Every structure is written in C-alpha cells, then in structure tokens.
Amino acid sequence: MNALAPILAMLCLLSWAGVEAADEGDLRVHGFAAIATVHTDENSFFGDSQDWSTDFFEAGLNASYRVNSRVMVAGQVLARRAGELYDGSPQIDYALANIGLWQGQNYATVLRLGRIKNPLGLYNETRDVPFTRPSIFLPQSVYFDETRNALLATDGATLAGEYRHAAGNIAFSVGVGRPQADENAEWTLLGADLPGRLDSDYDALMSAVSYRSPDEKLQLGLSRYDVSLNYEPAGAFDLPAGTLDLSLNIASARYDAGIWTATAEYLYLPQRRSGTGPFLPFTSANGESYYLQGELRLGPRVTLLGRFERGASDRSDRRGLAQSATTGGLIPPFDFFDRGLTAGLTFQLTQRFMLRSEYSRREGTYILSARENPPAGLQKDWHYFAVQAALRF
Amino acid sequence: MPARFYGTRRLRAVLRSFLPLATAAYVSGSLALPDPKVIVNSSVEVERISLNDARLLLTARLATWPDMSPVTVFVLPDDSPLHDDFARSVLQLFPYQLRRTWDRQLFSGTGRAPTVVRSEAEMLRQVEATPGAIGYVERIPEGVDVRELIVQ
C-alpha cells in the first residue's frame, strides 16, 4: 500500500491535470489506475471484505519505442495490491523487444525477447488492465488470482505469427522461458508458506493458436502452458525436495454480434506432485473449470454482463468429498469446487473514465486463497459485491 | 452543410448502436449518407487496399507499408459518431472490437494503439503533416494535401 500510494497519486494527478498519452514521434507513454471496494457476507475476497475492503488497487505505466520499421521495444511497470496476496509494490509486468522477421502479403512473423506476457485464454495477457476486462474480477476458476504470477509472464523468447486467408485468419505463438513462482503459489499448491522455496529452475513451454472468421465476429482459441516448479527445502524440518508439474490448457470461444457478445472458456488443469513426501495428501489432481458469459451493450456507454461459472480442483471428485477425506476433514469438501453466478454493470463515462459494479453469488470456496481464509472459518455459501473506478491515459 | 451531416451521422450512429444488425442496413440505406473516406499522407504510394488490409492497418497490426516505411494511424475518439460510422461501414467492425485489439496490443507491449485526435480538422492536419499517416474523414476539403485510399 505504501509503495503504491505515490504512484496512484501521480497517475491521478497526471490524469486530472489533463495530461495526454505522450506521443512524441516514436515514443509512446500510456497508463491506467483503478481502485475498488469489495464486500462479502462471508469469507475474505481481495482483503478484509466482510468489512468493505479497499485493498484492491491496480496501476500501470507503460512506454513503447519504435526503433525502426522492424523493431519495437516496450515495457510496463505494474503496482497491484490485492488483499493479503499482493502488496502493491511495483513490478516489471513486461519488458520486451518485438522483432519483425518475415512479412508478406498474407503472413507476418515476429520474434519477442524479454519478459513476455503469456497469451493464455482471452484475457491473461492484459488481465490487470480494467479496460480490457469485461468485469471487475475475471472468472476466477479459470483466471485464479492466487497462482496468477506463476502463469502471468515468461522470461524468454516467443515466436508469433499470423496467416491471413479468405477463410479467416490463423495466429499462433510458441514460447519458452522461466515463469515467476512466488509465495502465493506455495500457499495454493503446497497449502502454506513453507520455510523452503518454490522456484522455477525449469523452463516453461507456452503455446497458443487462434482463429478469426473473415467477418471477425467469431474467435476460437487453444492455449497451453506447461510449468515445472521445484521445492527447495530450507532444512531438516522442512518437506523434502520435490517437483510440481502444472499444465494449463484453455479452450476459448467468443462471438461478437454488435449489441451482444457471447464468450465461453474451458480450463483443464492437471497437476502432478512428486518427491515432497507423505505430508502432502494429493499427488495428482485434474482441475476443470469453465464459464459462459454474455455482454449486452445498451448504447455506447453502458454494458450489462451475466456469467455462469463452474470449477472443480479434481474432475473425478467434483463435490470434493474424496479430497476432503484425505485431509481427515480438516479442509471441507466445498473448498474443492466453485459454482458462481455473476451480474455486472459497466459505465464508460468518458474515453478515459470507467465505473463498474458487480454482484456474484458463490457456492464453494475453491476460488478463495487459503492465505486470506483459514480452513476452519470457511463458509460454503457466500456472495460478493464490488464497485470499481478506473481511469486511463 | 457539414453541421447537418454531422447531426444525421450522429442519429445514424445512435440508431445503429441501439438496433439489431438486421435493421442497421436499412437505417444506413434510408439515410443515404456517403461512407467516410480513408485518407493517407501524400508520401504513401498505395492507391487501393483490400478490406482485410484496411483492418490490419487500422488495428495497427500491420506496422509498415509495402516499401517498409512505418505506418502511423490516426483515429477520432471511440464515442465520435464519425468513428462509429467509419468502423461499421468501412471496416465492417464494431468500434469496441477495434478498441479491444488496440488495448490488447498496447497493454501487453506487443503492438501499439493509434493516436487519438480530437476533431476532423486535426485529423486532416496530422495526416497531411505525417509521412506514412493513415486516417479517415467525412469528406476531403479543397486545398488539403492528402490522398484518398480506396478500400475494396
């Protein structure tokens, strides 16, 4: 919070002072900032939400520079506070060089080097920019907040290309590099912030392919991210060293019909753990989640949203009974699934300023962080209400 | 009578944004407005482009002209009636699709968004003054050194 306050204040000041997105020849500078308040009747979601949390801030400042007709470099600093999970200290969100390789009438290819956002699903690449999301919170059982950093970006190289044809455009992206594991990944994947370190000594593999129809109304995509994280124990009283393999597979579909847009995404998430010893009950689980979403535009400024979500940490145990039993009932069955129904309203007041609110009813606590919610206090049925104000320049 | 044209265009934009697509063609037909014109800086040697290329240029996915000189895109604000009309009738896209593509590029560092100008007059000035520039206007006035690019 302390680190974020000056950045947020600066962005607000710049925006209110009427500073335009800087556009000096080849250098461009843009930014955004958003603040939200969240209320839940039970459980904690993005802060101490049973008491109107204001612990959800997002602010970013980016610049891009076109070196020549083939090369563009770009970077963004992101400050994000999200309850107990992220403290708002500025991070390098991305920093990369885009190098145009082969380009022709019907195709283009580009090599990207640096910290590259993973193009997973429809939203991961720009998931922290409110103006690029349909709602305050992305569907959490597909876009988990708690393991977001491990899936957010890759430090390495990506090759991306696009092929245009009368039957539609095909785009692909393949990448390799290091993901960023953090203590939230430990909480989620190992159940606590343990003395040792969950690290990413292995390269992750990213691949994505998408199709757009010639009229650009239909978009279909498949994306996959394979990550191996390794646990380095801190001493004799820690877990033994082990590895955790995650594979994130997302199928996406979106149809734009003008006043309405329909979106659906499906996530299949197999996890395998080996070597970490007998204290961690689950050695493998196959997570499965999906959502169906409709957006209705009531004119250029107002959009309504409705969303139906389902998520389970293991598709062979959708009610969580078997998983709960292996913890001796310490973790309740409903912590292994999520069912959600969400309604949202967005006002795009001006090009720069947006107000949004949403209400969501949930059954199950799969989308909540153990870090904010000790298992003993979890409540199965809960809802949240949130309001967010966002500006950009 | 640019003022009256502007008013009609706003009406058409409003009707289009509220009515389903089936009636949009009827609305645009019945008001019989000419489509907005795509303009380029006089340095640009291309005269005709396909609809797909027009979309690639305006979404900033195609960053260079065939001679490898850089493209600079100028657009009016998202809520401008002329922008709405341009997106729908020339590019055959919804304005929010353009915004989504620009924002995805801009906020992931993989591309850029066009420069937003406040008025048609500024659009003409910028396209006239910037080599490799592309934009759009309602009509091209006398004495402005820009060229029309035909989208087919």
Q: Residue A273's pLDDT band (boundaries 50, 70, 90)?
A: confident
Residues contacting residue B98 through CB under 8 Å, at least 6 positions apart:
B58, B59, B75, B87, B91
Q: pLDDT for A92-149, tens place per residue?
A: 999 999 999 988 778 889 999 999 999 999 999 999 999 999 999 999 989 988 778 8
Q: Residue A261's pLDDT band (boundaries 50, 70, 90)?
A: very high
Mean pLDDT of chain A: 87
Put simply, whether A160 touches B (Cβ < 8 Å) is yes
* Residue B62 and residue B50 in contact, taking contact as beta carbons nearer than 8 Å: no
* pLDDT at residue B33 in the model: 72
Q: pLDDT for B6-56, tens place per residue?
A: 456 666 655 555 554 444 444 444 455 788 999 999 999 999 999 988 999
What is the reported pTM? 0.86
CA distance B152 to chain A (A): 14
Put simply, whether B61 touches A (Cβ < 8 Å) is yes
Q: What is the C-alpha separation between A271 and A315, in angstroms, rounded? A: 12
φ, ψ (nearest 5 deg) of residue A83: 55, -135
Q: Helix or strand or coil: residue B92?
A: coil
* Residue B123 and residue B74 in contact, taking contact as beta carbons nearer than 8 Å: yes
Among residues of chain A, what percentage have pLDDT more than 90? 56
Q: Is the pLDDT of residue A208 over 60?
A: yes
Residues contacting residue A257 through CB under 8 Å, at least 6 positions apart:
A217, B21
Question: Which residue on chain A is closest to B77 by alpha carbon?
Answer: A351
Q: Residue A326's pLDDT band (boundaries 50, 70, 90)?
A: confident
Q: Is the pLDDT of residue A10 over 70?
A: no
* pLDDT at residue A48 in the model: 82
Tokens of B83: 């922008």
Put simply, whether A25 touches B (Cβ < 8 Å) is no
Q: Do A108 and B110 touch (CB under 8 A)?
A: no
Mean pLDDT of chain B: 83
* pLDDT at residue B26 in the model: 44
Question: Which residue on chain B is closest to A93 by alpha carbon?
Answer: B108
- For A97, which DSSP code? E
Q: Is the pLDDT of residue A24 over 60?
A: no
* Residue B82 and residue B76 in contact, taking contact as beta carbons nearer than 8 Å: yes
* Residue A98 and residue B110 in contact, taking contact as beta carbons nearer than 8 Å: yes
Q: Helix or strand or coil: residue B110?
A: coil
Put simply, whether A208 touches B (Cβ < 8 Å) is no
Best interface-test mutation with B: which of A68, A102, A125, A128 has the largest number of B CBs within 10 A? A125
Put simply, whether B109 touches A (Cβ < 8 Å) is yes
Euclidean distance between the first and final Cα of chain A, in Å? Answer: 22
Of A162, A256, A351, the CB nearest to B79: A351
- According to DSSP, the residues that pair with A82 across neighbouring strands are A56, A86
* pLDDT at residue A123 in the model: 96
Q: What is the C-alpha separation between A166 and A380, in angstroms, rounded? A: 51
Put simply, whether B115 touches A (Cβ < 8 Å) is yes
Q: C-alpha angle with apex B107: A16 to A368, nearest 5 degrees?
A: 95
Q: pLDDT for A58-77, tens place per residue?
A: 999 999 998 888 899 999 99
Put simply, whether B108 touches A (Cβ < 8 Å) is yes
CA A173 vs. chain centroid, Å, equals: 18
Q: Helix or strand or coil: residue A122?
A: coil
Best interface-test mutation with B: which of A70, A259, A303, A348 has the largest number of B CBs within 10 A? A259
Q: Do A351 and B20 touch (CB under 8 A)?
A: no
Put simply, whether B15 touches A (Cβ < 8 Å) is no
Q: Do B109 and A351 touch (CB under 8 A)?
A: no
Evaluate whether ipTM surpasses 0.85: yes
Q: Is the pLDDT of residue A2 over 50?
A: no
* Residue A116 and residue A175 in contact, taking contact as beta carbons nearer than 8 Å: yes
* Residue A364 and residue A338 in contact, taking contact as beta carbons nearer than 8 Å: yes
Query: Hey, which residues 126-145 in chain A have their CB within 8 Å of chain B?
Result: 126, 129, 131-132
Q: What is the C-alpha separation between A280 and A349, in angstroms, rounded? A: 50
* pLDDT at residue B24 in the model: 46
Query: Hey, which residues 72-91 in chain B have their CB within 8 Å of chain A?
Result: 77-79, 84
Q: What is the C-alpha separation between A28 and A388, in angstroms, rounded? A: 27
* Residue A50 and residue A75 in contact, taking contact as beta carbons nearer than 8 Å: no
